Amino acid sequence: MLEFLSNALLLSFIGVFGFAFFSIVISSLFFSKTRIRYRWINNLTGFLIFEFSLMTIFLLGDVFHWWALEGILYDWLQPHLILDSSSIVYFTLTCFISILMIRFSGHYLYREKWYGKFYLNLILFVASLMIASLANQFIVFIIAWELVGITSVFLIAFYQERVSTVKNAFRTLVSYKIGDLCLYIAMTQASHYGVVSFDQLSQSSMPGWIFVLFLIAAMVKSAQYPFCYWLPRAMEGPTPTSAIFYGSMAVHLGVFLFMRISPNQLEPVNVLAAVIGAVTLLHSSFVGRAIPDIKKSYAYATMSQLAIMFIEISLGFKTLALIHLCSHSILRFYQFLQVPSVLHRRHQVESNIQHSLHSGYRGLEWLIPVKIRRFLYYFSFDEGKLHFIRKKLIVQPTRTISAGLKHLYAPLFVGVESISHKGSTFFLLFASITCLGWIASFAPVDLNKVWISLSLFMGLSLSISLFSEDELSRFFSKLIVSSGLSFYPLFLYHKNLSLFILLASYFLCLLAFYLLLRGICDFRSKTKCYIREFMGLFEQMPKGGRWAIFLLLLSSGVPLSPYFFLMEKAAEIYFEKSFLIGSLFCVSNTFLVLSLYRVTFLLLYGASNRIDSLQRKTSLYVPKQYVTRKILNPKPKMEEHKSEYC
Q: Are residues 406 and 340 in the same domain?
A: no
DSSP state of 197: B
Residue 392: CB atoms within 10 A of its CB come to: 11
Q: Are residues 402 and 342 in the same domain?
A: no
Residue with more model confidence, 9 or 308:
308
- What is the pLDDT, as a whole number, of residue 330? 86
Q: What is the pLDDT of residues 162-204, one digit of tens each?
A: 888 888 888 889 989 998 899 999 888 888 888 888 888 777 7
Domain boundary among 318, 346, 374: 346
Rg from Cα positions in the chain: 26
- How many domains is the chain built from? 2
- What is the pLDDT, as a whole number, of residue 635? 44
Q: What is the pLDDT of residues 289-329, one digit of tens each?
A: 777 777 888 888 888 889 999 998 888 888 888 888 888 88
Residue 72 is assigned to a structural domain of this protein: no
Share of the chain above pLDDT 90, in %: 1
Residue 538 is assigned to a structural domain of this protein: yes
Q: Are residues 410 and 322 in the same domain?
A: no
Print the domain residue range for 88: 79-346
Q: In which band, very low, low, confident or very high, does the pLDDT at 584 lie, cut at 50, 70 and 90? A: confident
Residue 62 is assigned to a structural domain of this protein: no
Among 64, 45, 218, 224, which residue's Cα sits nearest to residue 119?
45
The pLDDT of 508-534, averaged and rounded, is: 76
Residue 128 is assigned to a structural domain of this protein: yes
Q: Are residues 333 and 410 in the same domain?
A: no
The pLDDT of 246-274, averaged and rounded, is: 82
Instruction: Say if residues 356 and 307 touch (Cβ distance below 8 Å).
Output: no
- What is the pLDDT, as a whole number, of residue 618? 38
Residue with more model confidence, 356 or 515:
515
200: three-class secondary structure by DSSP: helix
Residue 24 is assigned to a structural domain of this protein: no
The pLDDT of 220-234, averaged and rounded, is: 85
pLDDT at 156 over 80: yes
The one-letter amino acid code at 170 reads F
Sign of CA dihedral 26, 29, 30, 34: positive
3-state helix, strand, coil split of the chain in percent (to 5) is 75, 0, 25
Question: Residue 573 forms beta bridges with which residues?
Answer: none
**Which residues have C-beta within 8 Å of that of residue 621, sequence separation ≥ 6?**
none
Among 413, 552, 537, which residue's Cα sits nearest to residue 475?
413
- What is the pLDDT, as a whole number, of residue 372? 74
Q: Are residues 317 and 434 in the same domain?
A: no
- What is the pLDDT, as a whole number, of residue 364? 61
Q: How many CA atoms lie within 13 A of 144 on its CB side?
A: 23
Residue with more model confidence, 67 or 175:
175
User: Distance between CA atoms of 20 and 620, rounded to whole angstroms?
Assistant: 50
Instruction: Say if residues 190 and 276 touch (Cβ distance below 8 Å).
Output: no
Residue 251 is assigned to a structural domain of this protein: yes
Q: Are residues 460 and 532 in the same domain?
A: yes
- What is the pLDDT, as a whole number, of residue 609? 53
The mean-pLDDT minimum among 48-52, 371-375, 614-618 falls in 614-618
- What is the pLDDT, as a whole number, of residue 453? 80
- What is the pLDDT, as a whole number, of residue 643? 42
Phi-psi region of 270 (alpha: psi -120 to 50; beta: other; left: phi over 0): alpha
- What is the pLDDT, as a whole number, of residue 10? 47
User: Distance between CA atoms of 185 and 191, rounded to whole angstroms?
Assistant: 10
Helices 448-465 and 472-487, axial angle in degrees (round to 10): 160
The one-letter amino acid code at 506 reads Y
User: Distance between CA atoms of 487 and 611, rounded to whole angstroms?
Assistant: 37
Q: Are residues 165 and 248 in the same domain?
A: yes
**What's the chain's average pLDDT?**
73
pLDDT at 136 over 60: yes
Instruction: Say if residues 572 and 188 touch (Cβ distance below 8 Å).
Output: yes
**Which residues have C-beta within 8 Å of that of residue 313, sequence separation ≥ 6?**
255, 258, 259, 262, 273, 321
pLDDT at 16 over 70: no
Instruction: Say if residues 551 and 517 touch (Cβ distance below 8 Å).
Output: no
Cα 585 to Cα 35, 488, 567: the distances in Å are 46, 12, 9
Instruction: Say if residues 363 and 127 touch (Cβ distance below 8 Å).
Output: no
Q: Are residues 436 and 569 in the same domain?
A: yes
Among 282, 159, 164, which residue's Cα sits nearest to residue 226?
282
- What is the pLDDT, as a whole number, of residue 633? 43
User: Distance between CA atoms of 327 and 346, rounded to whole angstroms?
Assistant: 25
Residue with more model confidence, 526 or 630:
526
User: Distance between CA atoms of 194 and 354, rounded to whole angstroms?
Assistant: 68
Q: Are residues 562 and 469 in the same domain?
A: yes
- What is the pLDDT, as a whole number, of residue 344? 65
- What is the pLDDT, as a whole number, of residue 637? 42
Domain boundary among 303, 331, 346: 346
User: Distance between CA atoms of 297 and 576, rounded to whole angstroms?
Assistant: 46
Among 57, 47, 49, 58, which residue's Cα sits nearest to residue 10?
58
Question: Residue 471 forms beta bridges with which residues?
Answer: 530
Phi-psi region of 162 (alpha: psi -120 to 50; beta: other; left: phi over 0): beta
Give the 3-state secondary structure of 52-101: HHHHHHHHCCCCCHHHCCCCHHHHHHCCCECCCHHHHHHHHHHHHHHHHH
- What is the pLDDT, as a whole number, of residue 639? 40
pLDDT at 254 over 80: yes
Q: Are residues 622 and 488 in the same domain?
A: yes
The pLDDT of 269-276, averaged and rounded, is: 88
Selection from 389-393, 435-439, 560-564 with the highest mean pLDDT: 560-564
Q: In which band, very low, low, confident or very high, does the pLDDT at 383 lie, cut at 50, 70 and 90? A: confident
Length of the chain: 646
The one-letter amino acid code at 349 reads V
Residue 368 is assigned to a structural domain of this protein: no
Residue 280: CB atoms within 10 A of its CB come to: 26
pLDDT at 148 over 70: yes
**Which residues have C-beta within 8 Å of that of residue 257, sequence separation ≥ 6?**
214, 217, 218, 221
Residue with more model confidence, 445 or 593:
593
Residue with more model confidence, 152 or 621:
152
Instruction: Say if residues 38 and 11 touch (Cβ distance below 8 Å).
Output: no
pLDDT at 537 over 70: yes
The mean-pLDDT minimum among 353-362, 380-389, 435-444 falls in 435-444
pTM attached to this predicted model: 0.78
List of E strands, 280-352: none
Burial class (CB in 10 A: 0-12, 13-18, 19+), 547: middle
User: Distance between CA atoms of 307 and 309, rounded to whole angstroms?
Assistant: 5
pLDDT at 345 over 60: yes
Residue 287 is assigned to a structural domain of this protein: yes
Q: In which band, very low, low, confident or very high, does the pLDDT at 225 lie, cut at 50, 70 and 90? A: confident
pLDDT at 614 over 50: no
The mean-pLDDT minimum among 5-14, 200-209, 341-350, 539-548 falls in 5-14
Q: Are residues 432 and 301 in the same domain?
A: no
**Which residues have C-beta within 8 Å of that of residue 337, sequence separation ≥ 6?**
101, 104, 239, 240, 243
- What is the pLDDT, as a whole number, of residue 634? 45
- What is the pLDDT, as a whole number, of residue 55? 52
The mean-pLDDT minimum among 84-93, 145-154, 263-272, 430-439 falls in 430-439
Q: Are residues 255 and 176 in the same domain?
A: yes
pLDDT at 545 over 80: yes
Domain boundary among 346, 362, 388: 346
pLDDT at 420 over 50: no
N-to-C CA span, the chain: 62
- What is the pLDDT, as a whole number, of residue 616? 39
Q: In which band, very low, low, confident or very high, does the pLDDT at 350 lie, cut at 50, 70 and 90? A: low
Sign of CA dihedral 420, 421, 422, 426: positive
Q: What is the pLDDT of residues 568-580, one digit of tens each?
A: 888 888 888 888 8
- What is the pLDDT, as a whole number, of residue 413? 63
